[in-house]
Structure 1
Amino acid sequence: MKREELLGGYDAIFSLGDLCLTSIQLKKHGLRPYSGVFDWAATPILSKVNMMLRNRFAQFMEVSHLRAIGPASDTMLCVADDYYDFVSNHDFELSKNTMTYLGSYYEVMDKYNRRINRFLYAMNTARRILFVRTEGDFGDVMELQATLRGMVKNDFNILVINHEAVDGIVEKNWPLPNVYAVAFPNSVDKWEGNNALWSEILQGIYLEN
């Protein structure tokens, strides 16, 4: 799709990972009024995100799939859902959880279930939705497009940003309807070094409400 087709108002905008970077940039640009399922986790394998979406989050973070990895920070425990390759760095407080006992599991799941229900509700009710994903190859993005087409009742677009050996913003021109894919430089700190490029790519996109 062409860039101008991406622009305009959306009823909902969701990050699909692969890191917190996407949600941080959406919030910075006034495009994230609430946290989504993928905002504060690592989801490096897009095919697993596609599977999670197709399953409508069934078996997401079931106890039998969880593995405590170690401290994510001074206050948080890093916990992986090995079924979906979903890694949480911001949910399990060290004051409530250990490597062998996740004491706040049900509290964390209450939060995620609210986010999941909000996400699925938007799939059925929003007039127009934008999904933003960093890192995904053509095949996995094509699968993502097909998966979302089976979930979203009305219109949607996907913005894909890959980090590659490029200068500035490079359009990928993938022949996929509803998908606008670009490359950003990977030669800088992607957490801060591409701030101006994020601002440029998100200019002209806004939330309707």
Structure 2
Amino acid sequence: MSLKDISGNYDAIFSLGDLCLAAIQLRKNNLRPFAGVLDWVGSPTLPYVNRLLQNQFADFLNPHNLKPIKYLSQWDLYVLDEHYNIGFNHDFKTDKNTLTHLGGYPEVKEKYDRRIQRFLEKMTTSQRILFVRTEGTFEEVKELESILSGMVKHDFRILVVNHTEVNGIVEKSWPLEKVCVIELPNHDKWNANDYHWKTILSGVHINV
């Protein structure tokens, strides 16, 4: 699928990780009307994200699987969901959470439960959905496409952006029906690629 094939209107657009980058770019391009489950977490391993989706988020944020790792700052505690290899950088604040006690867990769980409920609802009610994932191999993305085909009632597209040693936007031709794969420069990917993202998403619109 080429870049032009993801153009058009969507009822929902979701980031599927691997960092906050996809959500940030959706927000910068006014394509993020609501929060997704994986917007602000670290989900570096796509097979684990695939399992999370396949399981429809069962056991996600199960307190038995949560491990406080370290203080990121005076405000934020880094907590890892070891079952899905998903890290929380921004949710567990140090005023309520420590390395030995996650006192703020109930409100974090409630927030993510709301996002999960909305995500699963959109899977069945939206006529067209776009999913955006940074970093993934062919086999991982092929599995993702298969899982989403079983979850999404109507139409969907997947935009995969891999960061490599390229100088601009490079389209890849992967033999996947619903997937568009782009390579972008990996040098300063947080700040230097805004123009490229704007170009990629220029034909994408969200129904409001």
- TM-score, normalized by length of structure 1? 0.98
Instruction: After TM superposition, give the deviation of residue 68 of structure 1 in Å.
Output: 0.4
Find the residue that maps to 2:100 and give its secondary structure.
coil
Name the TM-score, length of structure 2 as normaliser.
0.99
Aligned partner of 1:159: which letter? L
* Residues 99-140 of structure 1, C-alpha deviations (whole Å, 9 max, x = no match): 010001011000000000000000000000000000000000
Q: Which residue of 2 aligns with 1:17?
A: 17
Distance in 2 (alpha carbons) for counterparts of 1:73 and 1:130: 34
Runs of 4+ in 1 over 4 A off after TM superposition: none
Q: Aligned-residue CA RMSD in angstroms? A: 0.6
Aligned to 2:193: 194
Supply the distance in 2 between the matched residues of 1:101 and 1:3 (Cα, whole angstroms).
Answer: 46
- What is the CA–CA distance in structure 1 between the aligned matches of 2:161 and 2:46, rounded to whole Å? 13
Per-residue deviation, residues 64-108 of structure 1 (Å, max 9, x unmatched): 111101112221110000100000001000000000100010110
Name the structure 2 match of 1:142.
Answer: 142
Map Cα deviations across residues 155-203 of structure 1 (whole Å, 9 max, x no partner). 00000000001110111110100100010011x2110011111011010
Alignment of 1:59-208 (within 5 A): 59-186=59-186, 188-208=187-207
What percentage of residue pairs aligned between the two structures are identical? 52
Residue number in structure 1 paired with 2:55: 55
| Contact 2:2–2:171 (Cα < 8 Å) also in 1 | no
Amino acid at match of 1:182: I
Is the Cα–Cα contact under 8 Å of residues 3 and 171 in structure 2 kept in the other structure? no
CA distance, structure 2, for counterparts of residue 156 and residue 88 of structure 1:
27
8 Å CA contact 2:50–2:143 kept in 1: the answer is yes
The count of residues paired between Structure 1 and Structure 2 equals 208
